[in-house]
Structure 1
Amino acid sequence: MESQRTCPVCGEKIVGRSDKKFCCNECRAYYHNLRYREKLKLLSEDEDFRELCSNVALLHERNSSLSLKILGFISKILLILAH
């Protein structure tokens, strides 16, 4: 007998595949966006990270090609940390 599964976001009954975790795409997106925002918030509170972002912004103002490389590197790090 299958137990009732409920969505962790809204509490609705989950219908469908046995490995499905959310009742709909909106709840899935909301959950993952919330997790991503929480991780970004933790990073933004980190003083070293803020200083790095400030330095990259300064380089960007000077039209440095290095700043674009650094921004690309930071975005890759953020993507890794978000998962």
Structure 2
Amino acid sequence: MGLIAAVYLCIGWYEQGYMKRQKRSKRAKRRMWSMTFLLLFTTEAIYLTRERMSVAMMMRYLFYGIQKALFFEL
């Protein structure tokens, strides 16, 4: 869990440096950090609930109809 947070923070730090070099606005930096933390929290939530709710099973049910249509199993 800590490793996931460290990876996201390293990516955010790298993006912050890029934005500073490109002279981006504070608003753009806030958006970048907001997206970084949003992705971090959703990744952590998936990690914590992996035994109770399988993401693979959820994706299977979401795209079941599309899969049947692609393989002509209607």
TM-score tier by shorter-chain length is 0.3 to 0.5
Higher normalized contact order (CA 8 Å, seq sep 6+, divided by chain length): 2
Q: How does the TM-score come out when normalised to structure 2?
A: 0.39
Larger radius of gyration, structure 1 or 2?
1
Normalising by structure 1, report the TM-score: 0.36
Q: Which has the higher helix share?
A: 2
